[in-house]
Amino acid sequence: MAEFLIYNKAHWMDSLTPEELAARTVTNKHFQDKYDSRYQKGDIVEVRPDGFWTGAKAKGHNTKAFRVVACPEMKYEDALEKAKPLTETEGTGELQTEKIIKRREHKITVFETDQIKSVLLKDLVITAKIKPVAWSA
Amino acid sequence: MAEVTRYVDPDVVAGDGSGDSWVNAYASLNAWEAGEQTNLVSDGNTHTVHLRASAGTDDTTLVDILGWTTDTTHLITIIQDDFPADGIFDETKYLLNNNDSNSYLIKFHEDFIHVDGLQGLVQSSTVERRGFWLATGTSGGELIFSDVIIKGSASGTANTYLLISDSGWVSTVDIYNSIFFGLPATETSGQRSILWTTGTMNLYNSTIYGGFYGINRSSGTVTATNCAIGNTSNDFNGTITADYNASDDGDGTNAVGPLGGDWTNEFNDPANGDFSLKAGGNCIDNGTNSGAPSDDIIGTSRPQDTTTDIGAFEFVAASGIVILRRRMENA
């Protein structure tokens, strides 16, 4: 009983050339991380219970930015887990930092012709992004 | 330069969700953030988002502000239009609520953001929770928080921070007329209203009430001026430049304590989040005008007499004339 708000537009950083990206990284050492973590098409921005974007009192969902995929068979609590960022923590205790590797850990294959699509659980394709692993000799 | 204006209302029904009006408002701050990310500098724009809850529904989404480009003139402003007119935490108004399920309310990865009125509720029990989290990603710019109320509600002993800078944050935040309250004073040393680990925080005319530590600074630079900090096990912990504050320990220079050692002599109803000043208290007229904001959390001009009061509220005598800022002009 869950509905997914799916990111469905090109991010403004997508159009940066390698030279522009390199130049920005000079002025902001974190820019490469921001670039790498940016929203991508298919990212699960938000999860809501059944009917939030499709019911009698449905809310709008900015069709220029998002699409909605409804999966009545999926438990809301299970779906919530799919709308979290992919993070990496460094340090411990008070000094711990948390870096966002990807804005969302999971993405859904969207249906290009439908702003709102209801799917069966067996047809829902949720893909987990793989956390980069540091290379060591 | 153009100003882009967007709207968020968790109670919006129908509309197109584009955020360009209250009718078409986004249903959450998180959806606004995802839908509007842009390079404000190359766009030549500023961006303002207005918040309200027209039927009192909480915004329970987790928000990261990450993926923008801002600078000193191309900034993001977040305004709660239905901010409580009396400055008292009100769950019937827009409220960012972590529901003890999200790890934090807002994590700020970008500079040049002004939060001008916002209520937050940080609930915790067994897992660490945070309110405003100043995080890795900034590059030495500035944030401004004014008229922010963050309440903590801890039903267990998990670490809980209403405001925290993590060790990757390198910028400056100036905080005015804000209230951080609700954490127990004695539960655990991991429950702190403010935990500061890096960067610079300048805190003016704010009220902190509760938490094992009121302000716990382990690194970075913290100044507190005209602030009222009480109902803690230790109001200031660590090296902090404190001037003209009211606290139990009387830390810093030009300090005062609560009248009779009792904060109920200073605030009208601190147990219920009313930190407006009570007549005759030591917070009245004992601050400094230097660096003080020109009004208080509800728009009362400062100072009412010749000297600014301590805390988020400026005391108004019964016969005083109050000039209130208009918050509802966009409602």
**Contact between B64 and A62 using a beta-carbon 8 Å cutoff:** no
The answer to whether the beta carbons of residues B124 and B86 sit under 8 Å apart is: no
Task: Tell me whether A66 touches chain B (CB under 8 Å).
Answer: yes
Question: Per-residue pLDDT for B177 more than 60?
Answer: yes
Residue-level pLDDT at B326: 44
Residues of B in contact with A84 (CB under 8 A): 62
Whole-number Å distance between alpha carbons of A118 and B29: 25
Asked whether B297 and B204 are in contact (CB, 8 A), the reply is no
- d(C-alpha B292, C-alpha B177), whole Å: 9
B164 strand-pairing partners: B133, B195
pLDDT at A120: 86
Are residues A65 and B168, on separate chains, in Cβ contact within 8 Å? Answer: no
| Mean pLDDT computed over B143-169 | 94
In this prediction the ipTM stands at 0.93
Lowest average pLDDT, out of A91-95, A105-109, B171-175, B305-309, goes to A91-95
How distant, in Å, are the alpha carbons of A56, B17, B58, B123, B308 from that of A76?
Answer: 19, 22, 18, 21, 51
Residue bearing the bigger pLDDT, A30 or B84: B84
Residue B56 contacts residue B92 (beta carbons within 8 Å): yes
Q: What is the pLDDT of residue B156?
A: 92
> Which residues of chain A make contact with B35, given a CB cutoff of 8 A?
62, 64-66
Q: Average pLDDT, stretch B124-133? A: 96
* B151-163 residue pLDDT tens: 999 999 999 999 9
- Strand order in A66-71's β-sheet? A44-49, A2-7, A66-71, A116-118
* % of chain B residues with pLDDT over 90: 90
CB A27: neighbour CB atoms within 10 A? 8
Cβ-based contacts under 8 A for chains A and B = 106
Residue-level pLDDT at B250 = 92
**Which of the pair, B328 or B68, is modelled with greater confidence?**
B68
pLDDT score recorded for residue A86: 93
CA dihedral of A108, B34, B30, B181, whole degrees rounded to 10: 130
B312 Cβ contact list (under 8 Å, min separation 6): B87, B177, B178, B179, B205, B206, B207, B228, B275, B296, B297
Segments forming the whole domain that contains residue B81 = 2-330
How many Å lie between the alpha carbon of B273 and the closest alpha carbon of chain A? Answer: 28
Amino acid at B76: I
Percent of chain B predicted with pLDDT > 70: 96
Q: Count of domains in chain B?
A: 1
Q: What is the pLDDT of residues B258-304, one digit of tens each?
A: 999 999 999 999 999 999 999 999 999 999 999 999 999 999 999 99
Q: Do A27 and B38 touch (CB under 8 A)?
A: no
Residue-wise over B178-191: b if at least 16 C-beta within 10 A, else e?
Answer: bbbbbbbbebbebb
Location of structure tokens 């991508």 = A40
Task: Verify whether the Cβ–Cβ distance B136 to A57 is below 8 Å.
Answer: no
Q: Work out the mean pLDDT of chain B and round it to a whole number.
A: 94
Mean pLDDT per 10-residue section of chain A, whose length is 137 residues? 94 96 90 94 95 91 94 92 90 78 90 78 86 55
| Residues shown for chain A | 137
Distance to chain B for A30, nearest Cα, Å: 5
Give the tens place of pLDDT for each residue, B89-104: 999 999 999 999 999 9
What residues of chain B have any CB closer than 8 angstroms to a CB in chain A? 12-19, 24, 26-28, 30-31, 34-35, 37-39, 61-62, 64, 66-67, 101, 109, 135-139, 166-168, 195, 197, 218
Q: Is A59 within 8 Å of B135 when comparing Cβ atoms?
A: no
Residue of A30, A39, A64 with shortest CB distance to B136? A30
CA pair distance A27, A44, nearest whole angstrom:
31
C-alpha closest to that of B215 among B223, B1, B166, A52: B223
Q: Which amino acid is at A42?
A: G
What value does the mean pLDDT take over residues B111-117? 97
Report the pLDDT value the prediction gives residue B322, as an integer from 0 to 100: 53
Task: Give pLDDT, residue B329.
Answer: 46
Can you give the pLDDT at residue A114? 76
End-to-end CA distance of chain B: 24
Q: Six-digit token pair at A83?
A: 């709308």
Q: Which amino acid is at A82?
A: K
Question: What is the distance between the alpha carbons of residues B124 and B187, in angstroms, rounded to a whole number?
Answer: 12
- In chain A, what residues touch B166 (CB-CB under 8 Å)? 95-98
CB-CB under 8 Å, B218 with A62? no
Indicate left, alpha or beta for B186 from its phi (over 0: left) and psi (-120 to 50: alpha).
alpha
Check residue A27 and give its pLDDT: 85
- Candidates B324, B310, B320; CA nearest to B258 is B310
Express each pLDDT in A33-43 by its tens digit: 999 999 999 99
- Nearest CB to A97; choose among B27, B138, B168: B168
User: pLDDT digits over B203-217, tens only?
Assistant: 999 999 999 999 999
CB contact (8 A) between residue B167 and residue A100: no
**Degrees (nearest 5) of the Cα angle B251, B255, B258?**
95
Question: pLDDT tens for residues B181-240?
Answer: 999 998 777 899 999 999 999 999 999 999 999 999 999 999 999 999 999 999 999 999
Q: Are strands A66-71 and A2-7 parallel, antiparallel or unpaired?
A: antiparallel
Contact at CB, A62 and B16, closer than 8 angstroms: yes
Asked if B53 and B84 count as a contact pair (C-beta separation under 8 A), the reply is: no
Overall average pLDDT of the B2-7 stretch: 97
Q: Give the 3-state secondary structure of residue B45.
A: strand
CB-nearest partner of A66 from B35, B61, B137: B35
- pLDDT higher than threshold 90 for residue B245: yes
Query: CB-CB: which of A60, A65, A85 is closest to B64?
Result: A85
pLDDT surpasses 50 at B131: yes
CA distances from A70 to A31, A63, B34, B168 (A): 34, 15, 19, 38
